Protein backbone atom coordinates (compact mmCIF):
# COMPACT_ATOMS: atom_id res chain seq x y z
CA UNK A 1 0.00 0.00 0.00
CA UNK A 2 1.80 3.00 -1.35
CA UNK A 3 0.40 6.22 0.03
CA UNK A 4 3.16 8.41 -1.39
CA UNK A 5 0.63 10.85 -2.85
CA UNK A 6 -0.26 11.76 0.72
CA UNK A 7 3.23 12.82 1.73
CA UNK A 8 3.57 15.18 4.69
CA UNK A 9 3.50 18.41 2.66
CA UNK A 10 0.13 17.56 1.10
CA UNK A 11 -1.50 16.74 4.42
CA UNK A 12 0.09 19.83 6.03
CA UNK A 13 -1.36 22.07 3.33
CA UNK A 14 -4.74 20.34 3.57
CA UNK A 15 -4.82 21.08 7.30
CA UNK A 16 -3.24 24.54 7.09
CA UNK A 17 -3.76 26.01 3.64
CA UNK A 18 -1.74 29.00 2.44
CA UNK A 19 -3.35 32.19 1.08
CA UNK A 20 -6.79 30.97 2.15
CA UNK A 21 -9.46 33.65 2.32
CA UNK A 22 -10.70 36.52 0.21
CA UNK A 23 -9.50 39.93 -0.93
CA UNK A 24 -11.04 43.40 -0.77
CA UNK A 25 -11.62 44.70 -4.29
CA UNK A 26 -9.66 42.08 -6.25
CA UNK A 27 -8.88 42.73 -9.92
CA UNK A 28 -10.57 39.44 -10.60
CA UNK A 29 -12.37 36.73 -8.76
CA UNK A 30 -13.26 33.50 -10.48
CA UNK A 31 -14.76 30.20 -9.34
CA UNK A 32 -15.25 26.84 -10.97
CA UNK A 33 -15.99 23.30 -9.91
CA UNK A 34 -14.89 19.86 -10.98
CA UNK A 35 -18.11 18.19 -12.11
CA UNK A 36 -16.65 14.74 -11.43
CA UNK A 37 -16.48 15.31 -7.69
CA UNK A 38 -18.10 18.68 -7.00
CA UNK A 39 -14.83 20.20 -5.73
CA UNK A 40 -14.95 24.00 -5.85
CA UNK A 41 -12.11 26.53 -6.00
CA UNK A 42 -12.36 30.33 -6.13
CA UNK A 43 -9.26 32.43 -6.71
CA UNK A 44 -9.02 36.20 -6.25
CA UNK A 45 -6.09 38.26 -7.50
CA UNK A 46 -5.01 41.86 -7.05
CA UNK A 47 -2.31 43.26 -9.32
CA UNK A 48 0.16 45.93 -8.16
CA UNK A 49 1.00 49.17 -9.98
CA UNK A 50 3.80 47.24 -11.73
CA UNK A 51 1.24 44.86 -13.24
CA UNK A 52 2.45 41.96 -11.10
CA UNK A 53 0.43 39.88 -8.65
CA UNK A 54 0.49 41.78 -5.37
CA UNK A 55 -2.10 39.76 -3.46
CA UNK A 56 -3.81 36.46 -4.05
CA UNK A 57 -6.34 34.50 -2.05
CA UNK A 58 -8.34 31.33 -2.62
CA UNK A 59 -11.28 29.55 -1.08
CA UNK A 60 -12.67 26.14 -1.79
CA UNK A 61 -13.91 22.80 -0.75
CA UNK A 62 -12.45 19.59 -2.01
CA UNK A 63 -9.98 16.78 -1.71
CA UNK A 64 -6.47 17.03 -0.32
CA UNK A 65 -4.93 17.18 -3.79
CA UNK A 66 -7.10 20.01 -5.15
CA UNK A 67 -6.73 21.99 -1.94
CA UNK A 68 -2.96 21.51 -1.62
CA UNK A 69 -2.59 22.42 -5.27
CA UNK A 70 -4.40 25.73 -4.70
CA UNK A 71 -2.01 26.62 -1.85
CA UNK A 72 1.05 25.73 -3.92
CA UNK A 73 -0.17 27.57 -7.01
CA UNK A 74 -1.13 30.76 -5.19
CA UNK A 75 2.29 30.84 -3.51
CA UNK A 76 3.99 30.39 -6.85
CA UNK A 77 2.21 33.15 -8.76
CA UNK A 78 3.05 35.99 -6.38
CA UNK A 79 4.97 38.58 -8.38
CA UNK A 80 4.02 37.16 -11.80
CA UNK A 81 2.54 39.29 -14.59
CA UNK A 82 -0.81 38.57 -16.16
CA UNK A 83 1.00 37.27 -19.24
CA UNK A 84 3.11 34.93 -17.10
CA UNK A 85 -0.02 33.62 -15.41
CA UNK A 86 -1.68 33.01 -18.76
CA UNK A 87 1.39 31.03 -19.83
CA UNK A 88 1.77 29.13 -16.56
CA UNK A 89 2.66 25.57 -17.54
CA UNK A 90 0.53 22.82 -16.03
CA UNK A 91 3.51 20.49 -15.89
CA UNK A 92 5.28 23.04 -13.73
CA UNK A 93 2.40 22.91 -11.23
CA UNK A 94 2.43 19.08 -11.26
CA UNK A 95 6.19 19.20 -10.59
CA UNK A 96 5.66 21.55 -7.66
CA UNK A 97 3.00 19.22 -6.23
CA UNK A 98 5.56 16.51 -6.73
CA UNK A 99 3.52 13.38 -5.98
CA UNK A 100 2.50 10.64 -8.42
CA UNK A 101 -1.10 11.24 -9.55
CA UNK A 102 -3.52 9.02 -11.43
CA UNK A 103 -5.37 10.49 -14.42
CA UNK A 104 -8.47 11.20 -12.34
CA UNK A 105 -6.44 12.97 -9.68
CA UNK A 106 -4.53 15.10 -12.20
CA UNK A 107 -7.89 16.81 -12.78
CA UNK A 108 -8.11 17.56 -9.04
CA UNK A 109 -4.55 18.90 -9.09
CA UNK A 110 -5.17 21.17 -12.08
CA UNK A 111 -8.53 22.58 -10.96
CA UNK A 112 -6.89 25.60 -9.31
CA UNK A 113 -4.81 26.37 -12.41
CA UNK A 114 -7.91 26.12 -14.59
CA UNK A 115 -9.69 28.60 -12.31
CA UNK A 116 -6.67 30.93 -12.23
CA UNK A 117 -6.27 30.97 -16.00
CA UNK A 118 -9.99 31.35 -16.70
CA UNK A 119 -9.96 34.39 -14.42
CA UNK A 120 -6.78 35.75 -15.98
CA UNK A 121 -8.18 35.48 -19.50
CA UNK A 122 -11.38 37.19 -18.39
CA UNK A 123 -9.75 40.56 -17.80
CA UNK A 124 -7.83 42.79 -20.20
CA UNK A 125 -4.06 42.69 -19.85
CA UNK A 126 -2.84 45.99 -18.34
CA UNK A 127 0.38 45.65 -20.38
CA UNK A 128 -1.66 45.62 -23.58
CA UNK A 129 -3.78 48.46 -22.27
CA UNK A 130 -0.63 50.56 -21.96
CA UNK A 131 0.53 49.57 -25.44
CA UNK A 132 -2.81 50.67 -26.79
CA UNK A 133 -2.28 53.99 -25.05
CA UNK A 134 -5.34 53.46 -22.87
Partner 1 sequence: MLDVTKIRANFPILQVEAHPGVPLIFLDSAASSQKPAVVITAMDAYYRQMHANVHRGIYALSEAATSAYEGARAKIARFIHAADPAEVIYVRNATEGFNLVAFAWGRANLEPGDEILLTEMEHHANLVPWQMLAAEKGAVVKYVPFLPDGTLDMDAIPALLTERVKIFSFTAVSNVFGTVNPVKQLVQMAHAVGALAMVDAAQAAPHLPMDVQDWDCDFTAFSSHKMCGPTGIGVLYGKRVLLEAMPPFMGGGDMIRRVTLAGSTWNELPWKFEAGTPAIAEAIGLGTAVDYLIGLGMDEVHAYEQYITTYALEALSEIEGLTLLGPSARQRGGVAAFTMHGLHPHDIAEIVDKDGIAIRAGHHCAMPLHHKLGINASARASFYIHTTTEEVDKLVMSLHRAKKVFRQ
For partner 1, give the closer residue by CB, 16 or 49: 16
What is the C-alpha separation between 79 and 25, in angstroms, rounded?
A: 18
What is the C-alpha separation between 63 and 55, in angstroms, rounded?
A: 24
For partner 1, give the closer residue by CB, 5 or 54: 5
* Element spanning 115, H or E: helix 103-121
- Shortest Å distance, C-beta 90 to partner 1: 19
- Shortest Å distance, C-beta 89 to partner 1: 24
- Footprint of partner 1 (CB under 8 A): 1-3, 5-6, 11, 14-15, 36-40, 61-65, 102, 105, 108
- Shortest Å distance, C-beta 43 to partner 1: 18
For partner 1, give the closer residue by CB, 105 or 117: 105
For partner 1, give the closer residue by CB, 65 or 120: 65
Identify whether the C-beta of residue 118 lies closer than 8 Å to the C-beta of residue 32: yes
Q: Which residues contact 37 (CB under 8 A, 6 or more apart)?
A: 62, 63, 108
- Shortest Å distance, C-beta 66 to partner 1: 8
| 28 secondary structure, DSSP code | E
What is the C-alpha separation between 22 and 44, in angstroms, rounded?
A: 7
Amino acid sequence: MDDSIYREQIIDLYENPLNYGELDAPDWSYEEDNPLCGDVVRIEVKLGADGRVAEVAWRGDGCAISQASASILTEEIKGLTLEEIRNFDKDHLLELIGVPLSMARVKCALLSLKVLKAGAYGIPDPAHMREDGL
